[in-house]
Structures are given as C-alpha cells and as structure tokens.
Structure 1
C-alpha cells in the first residue's frame, strides 16, 4: 500500500500519510485511556465529560488565532514543532500516572495543551496538503488519510488503548508521546514547499476577519459549518459520557467499551472505501442529506437500546456516514478556498465544528448528572432533526460545487 500511495500521490504525501498513521494510533490510544483514567479517579459524570471538554476548549479559544498563524508561518515546520511539544506534554502525564501523582487537574492541564496543539497542527495539515498533492488528486489523498485515521485511530488504537490501560495506566500516554515524536521526524523529512506569493503585512485581527468574512459569504460552506457546529453540540453532549453509558446502559467492561468504539472504525473504513463510488452514483447533495438523517436515527437508537449488538450496528452505519461526509466536505473546501486563505477559513470551520463539540461535551456531563446517561441522546436526536430541516434546501448546491 505504501508503494501505491507513493507512486500515485508522491513521496512527500507518503511521509505525511505515514506521520498521520503513527500519530493517529497514539491519539486513539489516548482517546480511550483518557476517560478511563479520569473514571478511575472519579465517577462524577461532569468531571469525566470535563476531560473531553478541556481538550476541545482550545478550539473555542484559539481556533481563529491559530488559523491566522498557519497562513503566516511555514506550515511544515509548524506541524513538526507542535508534535514535539505534544510529545513532551504526554511524557509528563505518563510520568505523573506512573508515580501515582496524577490528579484530575493534571489531566485537564495536559489535555488542554494537547487541544491547543491540535488547533495549530490540524489546521496546518489541512492547509499544507494542497501544496504537496495535485488538485485532481485531493479527493484521493483525503480518502486515504481518512482511511488511515479510521484504521489507526479508531480500529487498531481503541482496543489497544483499553488493553494498555488495564496492563499499566501510564502506558497509553507514553505510547502516544512516542508516536508524536516519530510523526515529527517524518514531517520534517518532507521537502520544503515554495512560499505563497507575499502579501502586504496586516494585523492579526484583519487576517482573522478576512477568513471569517470569506466563509460566511460562501453559502454552501457556511451551511455545512453551521450545521456541523450545532450538530457537534448535540453529538458530543451524548458521547462525552459514552464510557458511563456503556457501563450503566449496556453493561460492558472497560475492554468491551474499547471494542465498541472500534465499530466507528469498521463503518469508517467502509465509508472511505465507498465514498467516491457513492458520490459518483448519488451526488454530494443526496449523501449529505442522508447523513443528517442517519445522525437522527443513531441518537434515537442508542437512547432506546440496552443491547450492545444493536448499538454496535448503528455505530457502524454512523461511521460510514462520518467518513463519506468528511471526504466530501474537506475536498470541497480545499478546492474552493484560495490557497492563502486555507488556514484561516479552515480555522473558522473548525471553530464552529470543534467549538460545538467542546460545548456539547460540557453540556452532556451536566445533563447526565441531572437526569440520566440517555438524556443527551434524546436531546441530540431532536436537535439533529431540526438541523436536517433547516439545511435540506441549501445542501442542494453541494453537487454543483
């Protein structure tokens, strides 16, 4: 597979692809181990959900600023530096866990730093890809990266993270630190790309406003960003307490929780395999609309069921939807946004998308504390139904974009 990717998309993409694969394994391990670590210290739903919230909070605080700097700085070097710093933060967390000095506050602090790094590295990666991949190969490159994310982050890493945590609580975080270090080396080996044409230096605020204004004036991208921003409030309100949901509602063990999360990966892998064929057959508009309906059905089913097999089945379908939706939206954005604005427009999109996730994570813990672990799922279903109604007509532009 490595040779095939290299031949079709170039050696530089292969390095970026390999770095993504390695770091996604580490990210997935921490995604599972993080809630398990907090849940080993406290059973308070709000505190468990807070660990997710603090990692997403930087998207609310720094997303627009990060986008502006991504368009000002060397994107390749920025990714390298951020990966090195994230490796250091995770090493500190692993040490605290191993020496039994870890607290909820320490976990929150490290996760906040990881989230801050994500606002820079993820935005820079999305903006960097069009510089090393030809425009007509962007959809293929995004599909391969999505497939790698699915296999590494969601399929391989989730049970691995749960298993490592059971063996030694510090191990998952040490593994993630190592993966970030390896990813930094791989990205550093990518050839420097020519800098974009120089522009008159403007203030940070002016740069940010330019990105916000461009996205807001593009009707389709605005609809997609707002829809998923609100949708992520609903989704993350439900899934912020997923570890408690699997224990209390489905009766699963910690390892069972990790395996249930891999159903996302199974669906995601299927989604990346069929995304191009589905889009050619049905068009982007039909797929995006169908995705909104799938989100409604997913939340209703998870709220109502107590059977792990039913939950796993609906999560596979949901995983197909997320990958198909993601490939369509990311490729569309990379094609229509001017190169010098990719970082800022991408950061505005991420602010709405992941900022919504941060708010949802905080809200989900509070809802579960007041009512039950299924309450956020019922509310999410209602919210997604309203979003589907509002976005239905604007999405008709997607197939023509």
Structure 2
C-alpha cells in the first residue's frame, strides 16, 4: 500500500522517497554507532558530546550560505554530488577504524564534513520536493518521507547500528558509505528540474542571504515556530548529547540496550505520521502546537527523575509522536507558502535556528554533565522549555488560529 501511494505521487517522488529511505538507514546506523565509537575511545562526557557538536556545528557556520547556493544551483545535481562526497568520507573513516588508526580528531573531522554536506543536501531536498509534488499533495508526501525516516533511521537502523558495532566497529560506517552512493544513483534518475529564476543582475551572496532572513522574520507563523523550536532545540540538544552515557549510568543499559531504547523514538515517530492528519482535524493546529510544548517539559522532567528503562521508553514514544506531528505540519506549511526562488534560503534560516540550536545545546550538555552530573542537562532543559511554553502560548494562538 505504501508503494502504491508513493507511485500515485509520481515516479520522481518514488525515486526521491527511495533515495531518502536508503540514506536514512545509513544515517541511523551511524547515529547509533558514532557515540559508541567515541565511548570506546574515551568516557569523557565532553568528548562524547563534542562528536555530536562537530556534526551540528556546520549548521551554525554554513546554513545561510548553503541556502543561498541551493537557490542558485541545480538542486538535484547538488544533492547527488554531496552524497558522493559523504560516501567517500565515510569510506575513509571505515578504513581508519578497520586498521586501528582512528582517533577522536579523525572522527570529529569526518563528522564535521558530514554535517557540512547536510547543510547543502537537506536544504536542497526540502526545496526540491515542491518541484516534484503538487502543492495539495505535499502533506501526504511529507508524511511518507517522515514515515520512511522513522522506520529506516530509527526503528531499523538504531538497533542495527548498535548490533553491527558490537560485531565490528568499522561495519556500520562502511554501510553508511554504501547507502550514500546508492542514494546518489537514485537521485540522478530524477528528471531535470530548472534552476529557480534569479533576479537580473544577480545580487551579492550577502544580499541573497539577507532576503531569506527578512522574508522568514516578516512571516509571523514561521518566525514564531522557528524561534520557539530554535530555543527548544538548545534544551533538547543539551539533554540528549550525552544520552549514551545516560543510558549506561542512569538506566544501566548495555550497548545493545541503548540501541533498542533508541527505537522508542521510532515507535512514537511512526505513530505520529499515522495520526497527524486526523489529530489536527479533531483538535486543531493551536492545540497540537501548545500540547507539544507541554510534552517537551514533561519529557525532560520524567527522564531526569526515572531510573527505569521502560518508563524512559514510554516517555520517548510520547515525545516522538509530538515531534513528528509538529515537524510534518510545519514543513508542509513552509513549503506551501515560501516562493520557489526563496525556498533554499528561507529553509536554511529555519534550519539554522532549529539545528543550530541543537548544536549549541550539544556543546552545553557535555559541559553540564561533566560539571554537575548526567541528569543536569535534563533539568535545565525542563526549565528552558517551561519558559518557552509560557512565552509562546499566546503568540501561537494569534498566529496559528
């Protein structure tokens, strides 16, 4: 049924969806194995959190510039080239692990390169989708992409990554390299899509970036959502940057247990993709957004206080239902309202606040855990999210009603 539904969205969407699904499996494997690789070299929370920060730092440094280039270049070709470069980088990391020459600096360098590629490829994919799928079908297309992400990246790949790491530390990263190569081949088969029309004469890169920032800031709905989740992701990133150590020290889980606990994100995410349309229709968008903020507060308090794995798993399932519903709603709205020539830049501004916040949080989380203990980042995140909920409550009513 899923394949038939994807086919109704067109052959190009099927290729894009398949490429995304394949690379999501590889990404999920690396996401699970990466912290385990760092933890096998050092048990320093700051170094482990630093690995997360290394991959997220490019969103702070390059997100806006990447968005401008996405609006200048052929988006399909850009993603193909970036995926091939990421495949080569991961192949190199695999070789160093297999030969016993891997170091923390090597891991950081590869993760930084992967993150740089993400700023281009993820922004381009988000801008490419509206050119492949009709506007009225964007919610369905996004729901399918989010569902495949959840199943592949989290439900399948996370325990698989932890299991493969236990067998051989190099295998998960070699698999990710292969998935990037396959994804590039699939995307190369999508029909050529014209480069967005540019103003003549073309303005400077700085002015192009400023135009995207200005457009987002003047749109009340996207501005409120972007700022709220940018700050929220600082809190989230701080709490989950040391999640592998939290699972070991607080919940007493093994490496494989850590991988299976990560699947709780997938279970909730899959449920979120299934119920988001009906949920929004029944309770309305305002309620979905407001309740989601409350869920974030409860999530951090619960994880800070529990030592029971199954309670943590239930909390993560509920959190992921909210996160998926929020993501699908916001992504579809942004793709519908942003003009084609600005999709890369506006999307990159949103990503800068969203993922850049997570990057800053990852850095802070490692420091907090090192100085004050493994649950401190969760308590701080709870306080931050409570403040965001209070401040955003009325604006969400005004702009989302």
TM-score range, shorter chain: over 0.9
Query: How much does 1:399 deviate?
Result: 4.2
SS of aligned partner of 2:197: coil
Partner of 1:291: 292
Q: Which residue is 1:183 aligned to?
A: 183
Question: Which structure 1 residue ranges, 5 or more long, are not aligned?
Answer: none
CA shift digits 1:27-79 (9 cap, x unpaired): 00000100000000000000000000000000000000000000000000000
Q: How does 1:184-333 map to 2 (within 5 A)?
A: 184-200=184-200, 201-333=202-334
Contact 2:72 2:195 (8 Å CA) reproduced = no
- Structure 1 residue 114 and structure 2 residue 114: aligned? yes
Distance in structure 1 (CA, Å) of the matches to 2:194 and 2:278: 34
Q: 2:66 matched to 1:66?
A: yes
Number of matched residues?
A: 400
Are the aligned partners of 1:368 and 1:374 in contact in 2 as well (CA < 8 Å)? yes
Give the whole-Å Cα distance in 2 for the aligned partners of 1:6 and 1:19.
13
Q: Is the 8 A contact 2:55 2:111 kept in 1?
A: yes
Q: How much has 1:196 moved relative to structure 2?
A: 2.9
- Structure 2, unaligned runs of 5 or more: none
Is the CA contact 1:368–1:376 (under 8 Å) kept in the aligned structure 2?
yes
CA drift of 1:398 comes to 5.1
Contact preservation (8 Å) 1:232, 1:360: yes
Shift of 1:397: 4.4
In 2: Cα distance, 1:395 partner to 1:117 partner: 33
Report runs of 4+ in structure 1 exceeding 6 Å deviation.
none
Matched-pair contact (CA < 8 Å) for 2:33–2:162 = yes
What is the Cα deviation at residue 175 of structure 1? 0.2
Superimposed CA distance per residue, residues 307-342 of structure 1 (whole angstroms, 9 cap, x where no aligned partner):
001000000000101100000100110111111100
Structure 2 counterpart SS, 1:71: helix
Query: What is aligned with 1:11?
Result: 11
**Kept in 2: contact 1:33–1:162 (CA 8 A):** yes
Deviation of 1:197 after TM superposition, in Å, equals 3.0
Q: Aligned Cα RMSD in Å?
A: 0.9
Q: Which runs of structure 2 are paired with 1:352-363 in the superposition (5 Å)?
A: 352-363=353-364
1:7 shift after superposition: 3.3
Shift in Å at residue 195 of structure 1? Answer: 3.3
Structure 1 residue 198, shift from structure 2 partner:
3.9
- 8 Å Cα contact 1:5/1:14 also seen in 2: no
CA distance in 2, matches of 1:399, 1:63: 26
Displacement of 1:2 after TM fit? 5.3
Which moves more between the two structures, 132-141 or 188-197? 188-197
Partner of 1:43: 43
1:389 is matched with which residue? 390
- Tell me if structure 2 keeps the 8 A contact 1:240–1:361: yes
TM-score, length-normalised on structure 2?
A: 0.99
CA distance in 2, matches of 1:325, 1:396: 15
Cα deviation code 1:162-191 (max 9, x no counterpart):
000000000000000000000000000001
